[in-house]
Structure 1
Amino acid sequence: MTTAAPRQRRKDARPQELLDAALALFVEKGFAATRSEEVAARAGVAKGTLYRYYPSKDELFKAMVRENLSVHIVESAAQAAQYEGAISELMRQMMRDWWAKVGRGNAGVVCKLVMIEARHFPELARFYVDEVIQPSKTLLGGMIERGIRRGEFRAVPIEATVHLLISPMLYMMLHEHSFGTHDVCPGDMSPEELLEAQMSLLLHGLLATPPGT
């Protein structure tokens, strides 16, 4: 078995190193204030190397979104397409997984960053809508629609219900990556407890026949 040389391994790791450096600097300084040469320096490469992988700061930002968010949406869509059980259980599990994979980690930081910067960069905001928001709404809306068709859920306004699913997750991500990092809100419930309470309230409202009936 042939092992890649250290130089090749370093080259293969550079895109991820550049994305990690960009995310750290975007959070520290904001997207507008971060210069490409700073990203290259943080990653320990020349500016020309950065441009070889990402021709502009906008492309670097888009790659960061795809790496931290888009990949999870694709995985969740594949999981939903193959699932045959109760939609309520799929939805509950998917929201738990999203918090574990997205809310707590770098992806949650990316969401917060987009909320802060979107109004100043309309092109990147549109990219985020097309790449993250719309696919997420399509995925969740499709699950709710399946539940209604199968008689598991009562007829509800799908788009409004999707927003009810997403909004608490956004709140928790903002809290986690703002107050949560400084422990300034002692006694707060854990995100997992809040998520469980949200899903219990929402799913019982969605179900055509409430549990125990």
Structure 2
Amino acid sequence: MAGIRSKQKAERPDQILDAAFDEFVRTGYGAARLEDIAKRVGITKGTIYFYYGSKENLFKTLVRSLSAPLATEFQEKEWEWSGDIAADIDYIVSRLYRFILENPKFREVLRLLVAEVDRFPEFVDDNFAEFADPIFASLSRRFDLAVADGDIEPTNTYELARFMVAPPMFLNITSLLFGNRKATDTDAFISIHKSVLRNGLLKPKAAGETSA
């Protein structure tokens, strides 16, 4: 019995976050009530205060917990650079879309942040600095190497990294706005994204030069 109680206690913070996610998505931050979140878990409101202190801190913890996997997914050490920028572009784009498509809760993070930016502007800025900026910086360093190798023209590689992430985010936003009412041919969308990047970025091979 003691082991069961210990396991339940260990799982409680995550259960609260899951319930908070459902409630924040359903009602928005302003209308969400800790009583309703507690009811979803079968606990008292005081238990939520014990773990998270306030609704604001609960919200911020939830957003961080959902944003963190994206940063982890795209830490520089996680990339498997091939040395071939064309292959790496395909690799980057595929991973971006795979993450978006396989993590539906991440789509809701964007909705929550956009909805609450006026309420928590500093938190939104901190969230960007902690999770998004390192991704752009990591991709920027890869493009810096491509510029140095003569594979792409000199450019603002940080903005190029942001540009690469923009279409997956657009797909994310349209799925939030329209759901299944405005279906997107995802495979075609991804293929076009890759083609535009390859054709727009890569320098033509010098005459007589063969691919590695």
TM-score (normalised: structure 2): 0.82
Listed as ranges, the gaps of 5+ residues in structure 1 are: none
Equivalent residue for 1:62?
Answer: 60
How far the C-alpha of 1:141 sits from its partner, in A, is: 1.8
Aligned length: 205
Amino acid at match of 1:155: P
Deviations 1:158-192 (A, max 9, x none): 23322321221221111122312xx222xx43334
- Kindly tell me: are residues 64 and 90 of structure 1, through their superposed partners in 2, closer, same or farther at Cα, counting changes over 3 Å? farther
Amino acid at match of 1:17: Q
How far the C-alpha of 1:204 sits from its partner, in A, is: 2.3
Equivalent residue for 2:145?
Answer: 146
**Between Structure 1 and Structure 2, whose CA radius of gyration is higher?**
2
Deviations 1:104-138 (A, max 9, x none): 41011111221222123213222222223322322
2: CA distance, partners of 1:11 / 1:195:
43
Equivalent residue for 2:118?
Answer: 119
Question: Are 2:23 and 2:32, in contact at CA under 8 Å, matched by a contact in 1?
Answer: yes
Which of residues 3, 8, 11 is equivalent to 1:10?
8
Equivalent residue for 2:181?
Answer: 184
Equivalent residue for 1:168?
Answer: 167
C-alpha RMSD of matched pairs (Å): 2.6
Equivalent residue for 1:72?
Answer: 70
- Kindly tell me: are residues 161 and 5 of structure 1, through their superposed partners in 2, closer, same or farther at Cα, counting changes over 3 Å? same
- Kindly tell me: are residues 93 and 7 of structure 1, through their superposed partners in 2, closer, same or farther at Cα, counting changes over 3 Å? farther
1: CA distance, partners of 2:86 / 2:67:
23
Question: Are 1:76 and 1:94, in contact at CA under 8 Å, matched by a contact in 2?
Answer: no
SS at match of 1:118: coil
SS at match of 2:6: helix
Question: Are 2:147 and 2:153, in contact at CA under 8 Å, matched by a contact in 1?
Answer: yes
- Kindly tell me: are residues 194 and 53 of structure 1, through their superposed partners in 2, closer, same or farther at Cα, counting changes over 3 Å? same
Which of residues 185, 188, 199 is equivalent to 1:204?
199
1: CA distance, partners of 2:52 / 2:135:
26
Amino acid at match of 2:188: E
- Kindly tell me: are residues 142 and 12 of structure 1, through their superposed partners in 2, closer, same or farther at Cα, counting changes over 3 Å? same
SS at match of 2:150: coil
Question: Are 2:29 and 2:116, in contact at CA under 8 Å, matched by a contact in 1?
Answer: yes
TM-score (normalised: structure 1): 0.82
Question: Are 1:204 and 1:210, in contact at CA under 8 Å, matched by a contact in 2?
Answer: no
- Kindly tell me: are residues 211 and 50 of structure 1, through their superposed partners in 2, closer, same or farther at Cα, counting changes over 3 Å? farther
SS at match of 1:178: helix
Amino acid at match of 1:99: Y
How far the C-alpha of 1:61 sits from its partner, in A, is: 2.4
Amino acid at match of 2:128: V
Listed as ranges, the gaps of 5+ residues in structure 2 are: none
